[in-house]
Chains A and B, each alone.
Chain A
Amino acid sequence: MKTMIGLLSMLLSFPSLGNCRILTESEFSALLTPKIKRIIFFASWCKSCEKHLSEADVGSSLFVATFDDQAKADEVLKLHFRDRMDSITCVFDQDRRVGEKYGVKFLPFIKEL
């Protein structure tokens, strides 16, 4: 039983292979370098987020997918940044703590830093 629980918890905590990664609070804080000028909160279902994704300066933006499905958020990023995927930094806000921290109650939500 313990082995089963152990295996299950390993599976659940296995790092995501998508573009939008699940991070701890300290890992998230480490991403907020002086280079990052804004955080763009988005979701795959948010049609009006499209404009902010299209117009985003990839180098100075940190993308946070929130209230969303991780795989769908990845698909949307691929749709918008086909050839620039390697330069995208995206966080998947799995437990919505990042959104909560920045007071996200609606989307799209842009936090200028």
Chain B
Amino acid sequence: MKFFKILFIFLAFLTAGSDAYSCSSCGSGAADPLVLNPMEQRKFYLGLGQQTAFKDIDSRGEVRRDLGPERKRQLELALAQRLSPTLFASLVTGVGQNQRGSRQQMGALDTSLNFRYTPLLQTMAEPWLPQLQLLLSHRFKTTRSVLDAREENYLDSFGSGYNESFYGADVWWGMFPLLFGGSILRSYPWEVDSQAGRLLFGEVQKEILTIGAMLTPELKLTSGLIRERRASIEQDGAELPNSDRLAHDWFMTFETQRMALDNFRLSFSRKASWSDNRNATQLNSMTLAWLRIL
């Protein structure tokens, strides 16, 4: 019922507006959520997200009951600032609420600083020439995680527990009726001291394939597949056996503009939902976001 309420509110915003620009990782949930279009100088993002139906997938790919929160809610805030005609930065932070049964807890989310450089912009004159964006990002360990959780069922775990730097590329063809593109993201996780010893989580590689279309001049639909592979974890310099991670996610995003300066985005995703998955968490996610050009 709540879902239909949110959908109704979203559809109510579908009044006349202009086209919305995109990229492969935009709205995928696998990269920074806020992207500036070429003429935008500054933009604000407010995202309300909910994750449910958690299930653990073990190292053999078997689905098991999850012992963590049953529901996670996030309020994510981001601000993007253009630094040059081809470069912008964004800062993303927020608060979360974890719930299991009647117990719930709130806490800050990890903060990330992201940069996107666009060396190649699309042009109507050469539609086969894609938009190319290079991504550089750092997620700061700013909050409690499963590594140092004190509450039962990890109710006070809101972050990843370690710093991680990401870099990658995003290619997008947006001049045809069918929009399409892809992204590759890799990470450098930073070592972290924990009760279990000195941990180094494995490097991540994320691959995103996205297609989309303008359903109406005011509404764009994109959908895609994400494959995320993380190498094994090292504990005090020794590799933990069967600790590598593999997850195949699916996402779908509706994006529109209520009026000229506003943009709304409704995203659904299902993590670890197709193909082989190992040491992953299966979950359903929904995010409603408001983006405003400042």
Contacts and interface: CB of A to CB of B under 8 A. Distances in A.
Residue among B39, B85, B125, B260 with max Cβ neighbours from chain A (10 Å): B39
A47 B261 contact: no
B293 interface: yes
Contact of B40 (A68, A99, A105): A105
Contacts of A78: 125
Nearest to B263: A106
Given A72-B123, A105-B260, A106-B18, A48 B217 contact: yes
Interface residues of A, number: 23
A65 to B, nearest CB: 12
A104 to B, nearest CB: 7
Contacts, number: 60
A60 to B, nearest CB: 22
Contacts of A46: 19, 124
Query: Contact residue range for chain B?
Result: 20 to 34
B221 interface: no
Nearest to A74: B125
B75 interface: no
Residue among B38, B131, B175, B261 with max Cβ neighbours from chain A (10 Å): B38
A45 interface: yes
A45 B125 contact: no
A47 B39 contact: no
B124 A50 contact: yes
A105 B293 contact: yes
Interface of A: 43-50, 66-69, 72, 75-76, 78-79, 99, 104-108
Interface of B: 18-19, 21, 37-40, 85, 121-126, 131, 174-175, 217, 260-261, 293
14 contacts: A43-B38, A44-B124, A45-B21, A46-B124, A47-B19, A47-B122, A47-B175, A48-B217, A67-B39, A75-B126, A99-B39, A105-B260, A106-B260, A107-B39
Given A45-B124, A76-B123, 6 more contacts: A47-B174, A48-B18, A76-B125, A105-B293, A106-B261, A107-B18
